Structure formats: C-alpha cells, structure tokens
Chain A
Amino acid sequence: MAATAAVSMRGITKRFPGVVANDRVDFEATAGEVHALLGENGAGKTTLSHVLTGLYHPDEGEIDLFGERVAFASPRDAIDAGVCMVHQQFRLVERFTVAENLVLGDRRGAGRRFRIDPRAVASQVHELGERYHLPVDANAHVWQLSVGEQQRVEILNALYQDARVLILDEPTAVLTPEEADTLFATLREIAGEGRTVIFISHKLHEVLAVSDRVTVLRAGKWIATVPTAGATPQSLAALMIGHDVESAHRTPHELDGGDVLEVQDLWADGDRGAAAVKGVSLTLKAGEVVAVAGVAGNGQRELADAIAGVRPSTRGSIRVAGRPLKRGDVRAAFDAGIRYVPQDRLGTGVSPSLSIAMNLELRSYRESSLGPFLRLRRMRTRADKAIKDFDIRAPGPEAPAANLSGGNLQKVVIAREFAGEMKVLIAASPTRGLDVSAVATVHSYLLEAAAKGTAVLLLSEDLDEILALNDRIVVMYEGHLSEVVDRESIEEIGLRMAGETPPASAPAAAGA
C-alpha cells in the first residue's frame, strides 16, 4: 500500500433534519484500487460520496486528498482537485452533443478559451474511448444515446477531466449483466493506471466481482473495511445487515389451478406516444408467480399499467378468469380481481398528502361511504386494523402518507390492494429502494398471496429478486416477452435482457 492514501475521510458527520446520515464515518482509499462502498439503501453511502464531491458540506470531520487537507465548497472544486462522480441520475445536457458536454466541464483544454469548438474535442473523445474501451460517437446528441452509452459519456467526461478519484453511484442499476461486466473491466483498467475508483453498491456479487477492498456502512455508521479477497457474500451480508435475514425463496411446485390471467397480443403506448408493449401474450395460472426480468424502460411499466387498466391498451385482449376486461378501465380491472402495486409508490401508489386511513380507502371508499359522505369512524377502525395486521410503523392512521418510510408506504399499498377477492396481483419493482428487512416482508406478502391462489406477476429489475421468486421467468426486451427456458441460468436471462437469444435454447424459445 502507498504511504499516503488517495482519499482519507475521518470522522465525517452529516446531519439532515431528523436524521444523521453519516455518523463519524471513516473512509480511506488508496491510489490504484477499486474500493467498494457497500451498504443498504439509506446506509449513508450516497451522502458520504456527496460530501467527498463537494455537494454536501460535512458538519464534522476532515478530508485529505493525497495527503492534503481539502474543504470543497462546490462540486466544481472537487472536480478541479480530480474528484469526479458518476451520479445515478446522469448530469448530462441531453440536447448537447457528447463533445459539447465534455467541453462544458473542461477547464484546462479547449473549454478554457472564450471561443469554443466542440469539434476539436471530438478526436480526443475518440482517442479516450479507444483507450478505455468506451466507444461513443462524440458528435451524437446525448438524447440519442442509450442509457448504457450515456453512462460511458459520464465516465469519459471524468477521464477527460483527468479524474484521479472516480466515484460511481450504483452504476449497474441501468445496465444488462453483459454491460456490467464490460464496465467492471473498464473500472479495473482505470484503477490499473493508478487512479482510485470508488464503487457504490448494495449488490454483493458486484462488489465481490470488481473491488479490491470493501468498506461497509450501516445506518450511517462505518462498520468495517475488509479486503475483498477474503470476503464471501455471507460475510459481507452479515456486515451490511448486522443480523441474518431470512430471504424468501420459492421452490417451484405443481400448479393445479386454472388459467386466471390471459393476455393475448397486448399492445400499449408509452408516455411519449410510441408503442412500448408490442404484442405481449402471457398466461398465469392460479397460485403461479411469473417473474418478468428486464432492464428498466423496456415496457415493463407500460405492461403492468395496461393490465391494471391504468393505461389503455391499443390492441389485444386481457381476460381474468375467462372474462374479457374492458381496456383502460381501472375500476373494471379492480372489480375483476386485479390488484396493482405500482413501481412509483409515492407518486402512483398513494396520494402523498392524504392520511394513511384515506389512502387505505382509495379503492374501497364506495363500500364504506354513506351516499356522498365518507364514514370516517369506520375508515379509522379499518385503518387501525390494517396498521396492526400489516405492521405499518406510523404515528397513527391520520399521519400523511408522505411521512412514511418506503417500506411502510409499500405496506400501506399492499394493505389496500390485498382487500377483497384478489385473483391477480401485479407487483412492479415492489422492493426498489427498500431496506433488506422491508424487502423480506414484501416478498413474504407476495408468496402468501400466491399460496392463497392469486396469480402473481412480478416485474423487477433486480435479478436476485427475480431468481428468488418465480415459478417461471420471462424477459421483457423492447416491448416483447421471451420465455426463459432454464430458470437457474443467469447467463440465459442476461442474454435475453440484451435482446439476444441463447443459441442452445433457440428452438425452444421459438416454440414458447
């Protein structure tokens, strides 16, 4: 190890109203290593990285960069000192070309002059791209690029500015497994040049695959820094969670129920008016869990919306227990027994400013109303019961839904949707952003629903979730579904997520 650390953060404390996001955190990374920052959602990883990149100012603690004390007032100061971050939400100007985006952050070369010429940067971009295997067209506009390509631009941007410390916040969330592998190779190469790569993730297998050392945070506190070489998924999970969590797992079993949900040649448009679901056919039996894998933005949300009636389908039919469903009619879908846990739980799942009690009644207010009037006392009793049954941690039934944590919010949605006769449950990324114990709870509800004979359609970008909870896996790519033949094979799922058909199973896929 080098004598002076590239990055040394000591005793970093960052408080937000009501929360201590970082509590005396120590972090050290050396030049030439890939250092993973591991922790659950809300463990303080992103906060720590924002402190390092000047976006947040720490309340306490000090930061040394290559042995020199630094106090960044803004992200720009950090960039000038060689600390660049690839955010989860890219910081690119979509209507600019790749070259223009690079000039924008440039303070040394072409961008320093008053007169700018993005074309002059293009050749440098090309060169950098060649060197790090990050091919990208410098003259393309960012909005024309895929999410994976945009990420490449972000990394190129950092390299163009000669970043000595490169921080990536959950970079694989938007990538297929193959793209992720390519990214890992690139990161190793960047570290090999003596730069420091800080890789933020909550996915154990990624951390094990790419890093040299791992620092684990939990609940805003530093827990441990260990070399990756000696670590196992179990040892890291134990550090990350602090206790063992029983994770749900589904063993496929005989399904004796009939077909509950039959989707035939379904088409639906995305928000921008282009077809997002293109001829999907899908049948679910009673008690069956079908997991839909895929990279975000391949039509999963639109498919879920269309089946739930939230989004009108443009073609095709949906049948529930043999009876056709009117397209784009939420109430008809609900009455037919379709229940929906939408992906955007705060925006679509609940009405944030309404109370928990009100939110719980959004589906069933007609039963509990008296003509045009709501029966508030009865609603309150029912809410109290739901809070108890579903273990919703809240100040009370009158608390606004917006004040709940993600896990408790999801429990409110589930409590509401589980009411009445539930024939089909559509769960779109139901555990995204939840901590491990909330994930386990949500999973147990899904399995419980299946056990009671509900057909469960689980759409998720989280491969671990897909692998753990399914009787069958299908992959959605550019609006089409393809059936996964070997439900244990990550390789096959990954290929299909990238739109390719695994050679060995081609005939079978054609028949599916």
Chain B
Amino acid sequence: MNNALLVVLVASGVAYGTPLLFAALGELLAERSGVLNLGVEGMMLVGAVMGFWTVQRVHANTGLTLALAVLVAALAGTTMAAIHAFLVITLRANQIVSGLALTIFAGAAGLSSYLGNDLNVADQPASHSFHALLPSGMQSLPVVGPILFAQNILVYVSWLCVIAVGLYLSRSRPGLNVRAVGESPAAADTMGINVTAYRYAHTLAGGAFAGVAGATITLAITPQWVNGITGGAGWIAIALVIFAFWRPELCLVGAYFFGALQALAPQLQARNINLGPTVLWTNSLPYVMTVLVLVVVSSGTARRRLGAPSALGTAYVREEH
C-alpha cells in the first residue's frame, strides 16, 4: 500500500517540497515588508554549497555537525540578502534589478560555483546527512507512515516555521507592524514604526530561510553538492508566494504540490508508465515559473489583483524635502 503511486508522490512531495517551503516562507517575510527579492535562487545556491562544505569539513558528531551546517547555510543566505537589503533599502536601487543581479552573481556560473570548486566539495558523497527521525515502526504505518513519519527533522521544523510565521503575521505586534510597513510605509512611519529596520530584518530573515532551503537540498535530498543544484527551485518559491496570495499556510500546500510534480516523472518512469513527454514539462517548470514571476512582478495591475502588499517593490522615502 505504501508503494502506491499516490502515497509515494505525496511523500516525495513533502520531501522535495520542503526546500521550496523554506524559501517561500523567507520570500514571504521579505515581501510582506515590501521588499521583493528575486535573488532567492542565488541565495539558495550559496546556502547549499556552504552547508555542504560545513558537513565535509567539521568533524563532530552527526547532530552537531548538521545543526552547524544549517546555521552556516542560514548565515550565508543572510549575507547575500544583506547585499540586496543595502542596495534596495538604503540606496533605494530597483528591487527587480538588484534581485536579478544577485541571482546571476551567486548563481550556477558565479559565486556558488566558484565556492564549490574552490572549497573542493563538488561531486562527493556527504559525510553527514539528514535521515528520517522517527522509529521505523511508525514509518511503516500505512499511508501516514511514509507521508508524515518517514521525514527528516527539517520537514518538521518547516511545519513549525509555517505555524510561527502565520501567527507572527496575524497575531503579533511586530507582525502587524511589518504588514503596515509593506502596505503603507508612510502610515507606519508616522506611527513610529522604523520602516528601514523592519525591512532590513525581514529581508535578512528571508535570506536565512533561503540559505536553509539550499542546505535542505544538499544535506537531505540529494545529499551532495553539484553545481547549480537548485535547478530553479528559487524561482518556483517566488512564484509560490504569489500563488499562495502571501499566506504561509497556502505556501505549504503549494510547495508540496510542486514537490510532487518533481517526483512525478521519475516515479512514472520507474513504474514503466508512459504519459508522453512528462519529463519535458516538469523539467521546464522552473523556466516557466521564472517567466511568470517576472511578468507578474513587473505588472502593477496583476500584483494589485492578486493582493500583493501595496508597497511591494517600492523604496520608501520620507517626505522631508
């Protein structure tokens, strides 16, 4: 029963969807503060390579090493996000341009690739990696076993993150403030909310999430570092935020859906089911998403219709002249 196609798809959807979910949650936080970050793909790659580098170089017990690796990945993502934050918040550069530049700079032909070669971590098996956490008795339960109990700890952490981000935004004072900053920075400023600080904090948090998302790929899914390993997952994550109407719980649903799509082609192949060129369209998905994201974020009308934060993509200048 646990080998039924649907169960396997959902289970791998959860596994493959987790990096998407982390990245989307981070992007959601940044966008709710009004900062659009198209550099997610690049930040994920840097997080992926730095996380992987940590497990290859640190010689401690597995748990400690992995925790350290996730931390390093988060820091790497944060550092990348800091560049974006400085450019678009302090220097008020165009957010689309800065984000794209970041992805190109850090991307498969840039920084992450350089780091991978220079640190000499490419194409090696991981010394430590994330494995299913719960006892195997639970994992073999019908249906819920593979889907819910055969996952690694990052999956459970991501669920906590969804709940935390959801409650933070809807029920906490700083959450209300950040929504105000993303909707109407002028109103927030008048009410004494530090627009710049909130934007920095959430953009950096977004970078940390993206870094962890990258590490999830290299430490739990593959687990190894290959140049350009994210394969457009960053773009799917940005698209997810849009399709989820900037709501964390919907990000989870979307992430698992796209995760399952990624697993679809290999699973069909393994079962000798031929549905025509399935691989073609699941593999082209990231590119389609990239185009879609760019179209939606550049069109003010489309953004408004979908319910994007009103000040998304715009720098805030206090009216003092």
Contact = CB atoms under 8 A, between A and B. Distances in A.
Contact of B191 (A16, A76, A113, A116): A76
A439 interface: no
Interface stretch (A100-108, A324-332, A405-413, A449-457): A100-108
Interface in A97-130: 100-101, 103-105, 107, 111-117
B180 A104 contact: yes
Given A111-B173, A115-B173, A116-B171, A104 B183 contact: no
Contact of B172 (A92, A101, A114): A114
A94 B320 contact: no
Given A55-B320, A75-B190, A91-B190, A115 B184 contact: no
A74 interface: yes
A104 B180 CA distance: 8
B179 A114 contact: no
B186 A91 contact: yes
A95 B183 contact: yes
A508 to B, nearest CB: 44
A76 B176 contact: no
**Interface range, A side:** 20 to 34
B83 interface: no
Interface in B163-178: 171-177
B192 interface: yes
Interface string B205-245: 00000000000000000000000000000000000000000
Contacts of A89: 186
A74 B193 CA distance: 10
A315 B319 CA distance: 42
A132 interface: no
Contacts, number: 72
A116 B192 contact: no
Nearest to B187: A91
Interface residues of B, number: 24
A100 B320 contact: no
A116 B183 contact: no
Contacts of B183: 93-96
B179 A96 contact: yes
A291 interface: no
Given A56-B320, A74-B192, A75-B192, A93 B173 contact: no
Query: Which residue, A96, A104, A113, has most C-beta atoms of chain B within 10 A?
Result: A104
Nearest to A118: B176
A116 B170 CA distance: 8
A415 interface: no
Given A95-B310, A114-B172, 15 more contacts: A55-B190, A55-B319, A56-B320, A75-B191, A79-B190, A80-B192, A91-B184, A91-B190, A92-B184, A93-B183, A93-B188, A95-B183, A104-B180, A111-B173, A115-B171
A93 B187 contact: yes
Given A114-B173, A115-B171, A116-B176, A104 B191 contact: yes
Given A75-B192, A114-B172, A104 B310 contact: no
